[in-house]
Amino acid sequence: MVVVGREALGLLSPFTLAQVGRLGRAGTRSDCSSACLTLSLALFNESTSPAHPPSPPRLLFISYKLLQLTAALYCFVKRTYVAKVGVALVGVGLVGKEVVRLLLSPSLRQVFDIVLLSNSKHAVLLESNVQLDADALLSLLPPSSSPLPPSSPQATYLPADPDHLVDLLAERSRATSQHIILVDCTSSELIASLYPRTISSSLSVVTPNKRAFSSSASLYDDVQSSLRRPDAGLCYYEATCGAGLPVLTTVRDLVATGDEVVKVEAVLSGTLSYLFNQYSTVEPPKERMRFSELVWDAWKNGHTEPHPADDLSGRDVARKLTILARLAPPSSANLPDGYASAETQSLVPPNLTDVTDPAAFVDGLAAHDEEFERLRREAEGEGKVLRYVGLLDRSTGTIKCGLEKFAHSHPFASLSGSYLSLAIYTRRYSSSPLVIQGPGYPLSVTAGAVVADTIRVAERYGAKVGL
C-alpha cells in the first residue's frame, strides 16, 4: 500500500503535499482530519476541473483514482502523524503509580496519553492531552475511602464498574480514534476475567497480574482465542513471571523461532529466595537464626506479602511456573485448573492454615522451627543447601514446586538477597542452559517491565520509541 501511496503522491502538486505535511506534523487530531479533507478536495479538484464536468463512466475512473490517492494520503499522514496510544490504568498502588510516573517521563509522554485511572471504588476519565505531571494526575483520583468529586471539563468521575469498563474504553477508543491499552495493576480475578472481552474489543492488555495466565485453562484459552481474532488487540504480561527479568520475552522468542523448552529450574519467589538464602548457606553463618525469626524479620521489614502465608504456601511460585509452562507448548492441557493443578509443597504448617492474623501466624511458626531445622541439617549432612524452586521437565511431565536440596556447586547455592534465577534448557540450549537472574524486589523493576510491554504494544501500533 505504501508503494501505491508513493506513486499516487507523485501525482500531486508539491504545494498540496507541503500543506498536508505541515498540517500532519502540527499534531492534533483535528489537524489530521483537516489535512485529509484538504488533500481530498485538492485531489478532487485536480481530477475534475470545472471545465470538464465528469460523465458517469469517467466518474468510475475517478473513483478508482481517488481510492489510490486516498490510500496514499492515509499512508502519508499515518507515517507523519501517529496518534498517541491511550493507557487506562486500573489499580493505582505502588506499581501502578510508578507506571504512571514512567509513562509521563519526557520521552514517553510523546507516545502515551493516560485516559483513565481507577482504584477499586472510583474511576476518573481524562481528556486527551491533559498537560499534568504524574503526581498532579495521580492526585485527580481520590482514595477509595473518599467520596467521588464532581466532574470537570478535564476529568469525568465515575464509580469504578468493571462490568462497564471495557465498553467505556471501547467507546472512548472509537470516539477518539486512539488505540487504548488496559494496564491492569490489580491482582483481581474479576479484572483478569475481562481480558478476553477487552482484547476482542480491539483494545490491548498489559499487566503484572498473574490471574488470567495462571488460573483455569478455560480463562487462559479464552484469552488465547480472543488474540486470534483478526481485529484483536495485543496482550503482554512479562512482569507476571520474574519481576523485571526478561523471562517471557526470551521464552516466547525461542519458541517462535522453532526452539522447544525441555526443562526449567527456577527460583521464582523473591521472598522465599531471601528466606532460604539466609537460612541454608554454603558457609555456616556466624549466628544461626531460627526459621520463624527470619520470617518475622522479613515480614516486619516488608519483604513478604502482607500475610506471609501467601509466600510460604508456594502458590506464587506455582502461578509463575504455570505461566511459563503454558508458554512452552504442548503442556497447557496438563494444567486444567492452572496453578492448582501443579504439584505444590506448602510451607504453611497444617495447624496454621486458617490463621488470618499475620502476627499470630508468624508467632505460631515458632512451634515449627524444629521441622525446618531438621530439613536444613539433613541437606547440610549431604553437603547441600535448601532452596524453594519450581521445576518443569517435559521428558517426565513434571510440573512441581517445593523445597529441594542443591549441591554447593549448583548456581542456586550461591544466590543471595532476594535473587530470582531461571535456568532454561531447550533443544538449542541442551547441555548448558540459558540463565537469567536478578533481584526480584524493587517495585521499579516490575513497573519498568510493565512499561516495556506498553511500549511493545505502542510500537506494534506504529509508534517509534527510542530507536
Q: Which helix (H) or strand (E) holds 41?
A: helix 29-47
CA distance 135 to 128: 17
d(CA 16, CA 200): 39
CB atoms within 10 A of CB 108: 18
Applying CB under 8 A, among 102, 155, 192, 391 the residue interacting with its own copies is 102
Closer CB to its own copies, 5 or 390, in the complex: 5
**Which of 4, 130, 158, 340 is close enough to bind its own copies by CB under 8 A?**
4
Cell of 273: 529466595
Here's the x/- map for its own copies, 405-444, by CB under 8 A: it reads as ----x-x--x-xx-x--------xx-xxxxxxxxx--x-x
Considering CB under 8 A, how many residues would be counted as binding its own copies?
91
Out of 13, 28, 63, 144, name the contact with its own copies by CB under 8 A. Answer: 63
For its own copies, the binding residue among 10, 258, 350, 397 (CB under 8 A) is: 258
Question: Minimum distance from CB of 402 to its own copies (Å)?
Answer: 25
118-157 positions binding its own copies, by CB under 8 A: none
**Does the footprint of its own copies cover residue 37 (CB under 8 A)?**
yes
Residue 94 touching its own copies (CB under 8 A) = no
Residue 439 CB, nearest approach to its own copies (Å)? 4
Task: Decide: 229 and 201 in contact? Cβ < 8 Å.
Answer: no
Count of CA atoms in the C-beta half-sphere (13 A) of 123: 18
Binding to its own copies by residue 166, rule CB under 8 A? no
110 binds its own copies (CB under 8 A): no
User: What number of H helices and E strands is found in the chain?
Assistant: 19, 13
What is the Cα–Cα distance from 266 to 321, expressed in whole angstroms? 8
DSSP H helices, 177-301, are: 189-192, 195-200, 211-214, 217-228, 247-256, 270-279, 291-300
Q: Cα–Cα distance between 76 and 7 in angstroms, integer?
A: 12
- The active-site residue, picked from 210, 320, 384, 405, is 320
Q: Closest CB to its own copies among 132 and 170? A: 170
Residue 90: strand pairing partners: 118, 184
Whose Cβ is closer to its own copies: residue 11's or residue 375's? 11
For the bound state, the minimum distance from the C-beta of residue 55 to its own copies, rounded and expressed in Å, comes to 9
Given 9, 26, 78, 305, the residue binding its own copies (CB under 8 A): 78
Least separation in angstroms between CB 152 and its own copies: 25
Under the binding rule (CB under 8 A), the answer on residue 50 touching its own copies is yes
- The correct pick among 8, 43, 100, 318 for binding its own copies (CB under 8 A) is 43
Q: Residue from 85, 180, 205, 245 that binds its own copies (CB under 8 A)?
A: 245
Q: Does 250 bind its own copies (CB under 8 A)?
A: yes
6 is an interface residue for its own copies by CB under 8 A: yes
Is there binding between residue 459 and its own copies (CB under 8 A)?
yes
Q: Residue 372 or 419: which CB sits closer to its own copies?
A: 419
Q: Decide: is 358 part of the binding site for its own copies (CB under 8 A).
A: no
Smallest distance from its own copies to CB 84, Å: 14
Among 121, 252, 290, 307, binds its own copies (CB under 8 A): 252
Exposure on the CB side of residue 435, measured as CA atoms within 13 A: 13
Q: Taking CB under 8 A as the rule, does residue 38 contact its own copies?
A: no
Residue written as grid cell 521472598: 271
To the nearest whole angstrom, how small is the minimum distance from the Cβ of residue 154 to its own copies?
A: 22
Segment near its own copies (CB under 8 A); pick from 101-109, 127-135, 334-342, 343-351: 101-109
Is 320 assigned a catalytic role? yes
Q: What is the DSSP letter of 304?
A: S
Site for its own copies in 187-216 (CB under 8 A): 202
Q: Give 369's contacts (C-beta < 8 A, 6+ positions apart).
A: 290, 291, 292
Residue 80 one-letter amino acid: T
Location of C-alpha cell 510451607: 347
Please provide the DSSP assignment of 346-392 as one string. Answer: --S-GGGTT---HHHHHHHHGGGHHHHHHHHHHHHHTTEEEEEEEEE
Beta partners for 388? 403
Residue written as grid cell 506499581: 95
Question: What is the 3 state secondary structure string of 172-186?
Answer: HHHHHCCCEEEEECC
**Is 346 among the residues that bind its own copies (CB under 8 A)?**
no
Q: Which of 54, 93, 285, 336 binds its own copies (CB under 8 A)?
A: 54
Q: Which residues are catalytic?
A: 320
